[in-house]
Amino acid sequence: MVTLNTGLRRVEPYFFHHRMHTKERWKDRSILDVFVQEFRNRSPDYYKNAIEKGWITVNKSVVSPETIVRTNDVIRHAEHFHETPITARPFCIISHDDDVLVVDKPGGIPMHSSGRYRYNSAVEILKQALNIPRLYPINRLDRHTSGLVIMALTPERATEISLDIERRMVQKEYLCRVQGEFPPGKIVCDAPIKPISFKLSLHYVHEDGKPCMTEFERISYNGQTSVLKCRPLTGRTHQIRVHLRYLGFPIANDPMYNFTPVTPWLPPPMTFMSNSKAEQVIQHLLDMTCYEQEEVQDNTNNSTSSSGSDVCPECSMLLPREPTPETNFGIYLHAWRYQGKGWDYKTKYPKWVHEPFNDSVVPAYM
């Protein structure tokens, strides 16, 4: 069940059924040890309780925490799933015909089901709202990025547009607001980008990175922040965000690549990341993640949940702090226009592009 109120879209908790075959490294270990060591998003107490309740079974049979896992065992886990609330701002439909759907996605909504998002993902929301059985996303925007999303309604059309993008036959234009006075004129950045940590979704400029290129052009400057038009000529993950950080003009409210208290370990502007530095950054961010998880648990008495309770009565999971309607769900990065062979789609400008702009709403990162 989905509810829309106080500016948020909430999915009521539900049971999600996982089914998995025994992996080689799980053999001859207890079922409790397998879950505690392999799936660390839950506590040992949760897994012990789930096994005893019959939420975790082996070959459809209720077992004890000490049960040994054997070859060919089929393990099932009925997980009580709590989705993270997202903004209730609607998608704006730009175009909808027999083989393509084009929408303006609000920031803060992931494209696909992953992590703590399933029904609160762009694909699932649009499938349900428009009664479309299958969607094939062409350009996969980051969760934090707003703007133009192209989805094919047939695999043939998806392949056709995707190939055009790979062959650089599609022109892409983004808008962003960055810290500082970006130089006038056109600036091209061709620093190579490498995934530093897939788990943390962190990418940065590295000598072993893949070639990529972004063209930037300043639209305005108000004394504190600049609005830019960005033209990515390649399609690396986080390319615009990383190139702007590398140039010394990060997106003004980017929590990952700005000069934030969370990321003082990233290299200074115009500096590649070394392998040793990458290891330090990953460890610091993992430590920060663990610290934040402990903070959530330590502060649950101050958290606000939709049920009015700090602990889920069904699975005893500590409920995370719920965002307020004023929360800025996205960053100042917007996919504005995509133009290809025989088609041209664009959105309206987001509000933060226009001047005068209230820079006091930007986090004081610098």
Residue 233: give its domain's CATH number: 3.30.2350.10
Provide the residue range defining the domain that includes 53.
2-81
pLDDT at 310: 75
Could you tell me which of 112, 136, 130 has the C-alpha nearest to residue 122? 112
For tokens 């950080």, what's the residue? 245
Cβ distance 168 to 204 under 8 Å? no
Give the pLDDT band (50/70/90) at residue 323. Answer: confident
Rounded to whole angstroms, the Cα distance separating 230 from 210 reads: 19
Residues 221, 280, single domain; the answer is yes
Rounded to whole angstroms, the Cα distance separating 33 from 19 reads: 17
Q: What is the pTM of this model?
A: 0.87
Q: Does residue 154 register a pLDDT over 90? A: yes
The per-residue pLDDT of the chain, averaged, comes to 89
Residues 218, 350, single domain; the answer is yes
Among 45, 64, 81, give the residue marking a domain's end: 81
Cβ distance 229 to 187 under 8 Å? no
Residues 6+ apart with CB under 8 A from 257: 238, 241, 242, 244, 245, 250, 251, 263, 266
Residues 177, 145, single domain; the answer is no
pLDDT at 363: 66
Residues 143, 211, single domain; the answer is no
Task: Considering the candidates 142, 164, 190, 208, report the single residue annotated as catalytic.
Answer: 142
For tokens 């997980």, what's the residue? 79
Least confident of 27-36, 68-77, 119-128, 254-263: 254-263
Cβ distance 175 to 349 under 8 Å? yes
Structurally, how many domains does the chain consist of?
3
Burial of 298 (0-12, 13-18, 19+ CB in 10 A): exposed
Tell me the CB-side half-sphere exposure of residue 194, using CA atoms within 13 A: 11
Q: Which two tokens stand for residue 214?
A: 């972004």
Among 38, 64, 81, give the residue marking a domain's end: 81
Largest CA distance in the chain: 68
Residues 159, 176, single domain; the answer is no
pLDDT at 318: 74
pLDDT at 6: 84
pLDDT at 163: 97
Give the pLDDT band (50/70/90) at residue 200. Answer: confident
Q: Is 142 annotated in the active site?
A: yes
Could you tell me which of 267, 246, 247, 245 has the C-alpha nearest to residue 255? 245
Residue 314 is assigned to a structural domain of this protein? no
Residues 49, 195, single domain; the answer is no
Q: Does residue 293 register a pLDDT over 60? A: no
pLDDT at 259: 82
Q: Is 125 helix (H, G, I), strand (E, B) or coil?
A: helix
Give the pLDDT band (50/70/90) at residue 210. Answer: very high
pLDDT at 298: 35
